[in-house]
Amino acid sequence: MAADPERRLRVVITAADALLREGLAALLLAHGFEVTSVCDSAGLPAVADCPDVMITDDGLCAAVRARQRHPGLPVLVLSSGSGNVGGVGELLADRSGGVGCLRRERVGAVAEFLDTLRLVAGGATVFDPGVIAAILSSRRDPLVGLTAREREVLALMAEGHNNAAIADRLVVGEAAVHKHIRAIFAKLDLTGEDRGHRRVQAVLAYLNA
């Protein structure tokens, strides 16, 4: 959804913090934007006519609902640094419409903030380096609960060895290997009757860790 450069961008603002909402509205109006709606993030803003872009906080609830009503609605998220920034993935998932995420304090760099808003309205994806660092640092190692021996077994599974070969490599019985693999499936929360599928999923978790 590319914004028309010949007219003022129409912006919806939704955030839990009233000072943030009103401050953003005043800032945007002063710089030639049209603010069509301002509301608390718990509610769904009035977006009967689809705006060019929505600004929201890292609660994201209103943005997700608004995007369900208007597929591809560009959204710029202002992160407080303590919210669930990973929820932005839900907005990225459909691969339509611009998505941006900035730390809230970056609004103070007015020219940069407004440029980012225009880029997102035009369909771009823009992420603050500080937000990316926070996402990466908060990622949980999926293998963190595995014992050293379970990691060994999983590594050998990733190399393509069957249970008998793993038992030979580790100089243990196949029953012990089966026990370790059952523990691996349980700790990685891999359920279902298809043992082969679970084995593949476990290997993928190992490779992506």
Q: Is the pLDDT of residue 88 over 80?
A: no
Question: Which tokens sit at 170?
Answer: 């580790």
For residues 31 and 140, the model is more confident at: 31
Cβ atoms of 146 and 82 within 8 Å: the answer is no
- What's the rounded mean pLDDT across residues 134-138? 60
Listed in sequence order, the residues at least 6 apart from 113 whose beta carbon sits closer than 8 Å to its beta carbon are 102, 106, 107
Of 142 and 4, more confident: 142
Check if the beta carbon of residue 59 is closer than 8 Å to that of residue 19: no
Residue 138: partners with Cβ closer than 8 Å, 6 or more residues away? 86
Q: What is the pLDDT of residue 153?
A: 92
Give the model's confidence band at 173: pLDDT under 50 very low, under 70 low, under 90 confident, else very high: very high
Q: What is the structure's pLDDT at 1?
A: 45
User: Rounded to whole angstroms, how far apart are CA atoms 205 and 59?
Assistant: 29
Instruction: Give me the mean pLDDT over the 187-196 stretch.
Output: 73
Q: Name which residue leads in pLDDT, 182 or 86.
A: 182
